[in-house]
Amino acid sequence: MDKKALVVEGGAMRGIFAAGVLDSFMQQEYNPFQFAIGASAGASNLLGYLAKQPKRSYQIITELGTSADFYNPARFVKGGHLTDVKWLSETSLQKYPLHLDTLLNNIPLYATTTDIETGVANYFKVTKDNLLNVIEATTALPVAYRGTPCFSGSCFTDGAVADSIPVKEAYRRGARDITVILSHPLSYSMPESNSHWLMKRLLSDKPQVADALKTRANRYNQALEFIRFPPKDAKVRVIAPPEDFPVKRLSRKPAVLEAGYQMGVDAGAEHLANLSGIKRYTPEECSACYE
């Protein structure tokens, strides 16, 4: 039987949109999927969804994600982390404990990481034993996070470096009905990097990661092409922010984050209404209903 999968893009604070979409899904108890894959903040958002904890991701992003303990330019200038993802994941578990039994007895969750020796994506199934390591690794932004998570015989960096939107991996794993939650409007395409020389210098000890960053835009745009023109035996459903989505990668203003979250809640509700036939939207009326 063909599988249904849920794929969630990362995007740092832009993940507030996916948090809203997934809260809408939880409100309507919508989970027809056989597995889920997330990259970076997308994997973090999926923890709350699969643990059935509405607003958990929202609280983490708006309360902890805006803290100076997480994002601190002054600390970075002095040689520390710009974004301390280990602090974020550990503090999230302390302040907003996961319903682990619910999470682990739900559908499988795979988190994308990037192997620093190869620059290639590695997809870990999240378990009780590896959860902290995997979430640290999938969100470990190169340069911004100075740590290098190592486990399972390798060391890793942010999963979005190698595979920002793991829709092809979902297809490879047998999914033929794939729902993708993006962090950018549908019109977005990633521009080619013009700072490879700088990344090569800053990541001189991780040359494969620097090379993967150089070609990241190409892989990202190929994933978008797959979404827009999937294979004939597959259906891809897309939920994307509207064109006026105000949240940037490092946005911290409460009003901006609140607006982005509400856009996600509305998009999730519109998507489910469209699926159920309660209301039919045109692509102009509902970009989240685009298929």
Active site residues: 40, 158
Separation of alpha carbons 119 and 175, rounded Å: 25
Terminal CA-to-CA distance of the chain, rounded, Å? Answer: 21
Structure tokens at 20: 């809203």
Q: What is the CA radius of gyration of the chain?
A: 18
Please name every residue paired with 121 in a beta bridge, in sequence order, or none if there are none: 114
Task: Name the packing angle between helices 85-95 and 131-138 (round to 10°).
Answer: 140
Reading the block at residue 141, the tokens are: 């932004």
Q: Nearest 10 degrees: CA dihedral of 227, 228, 232, 238?
A: 60
Chain-centre distance of CA 84, in angstroms?
17
The structure tokens 């709350």 sit at 48
Count of C-beta atoms within a 10 Å radius of residue 286:
19
Sign of CA dihedral 140, 110, 240, 245: negative
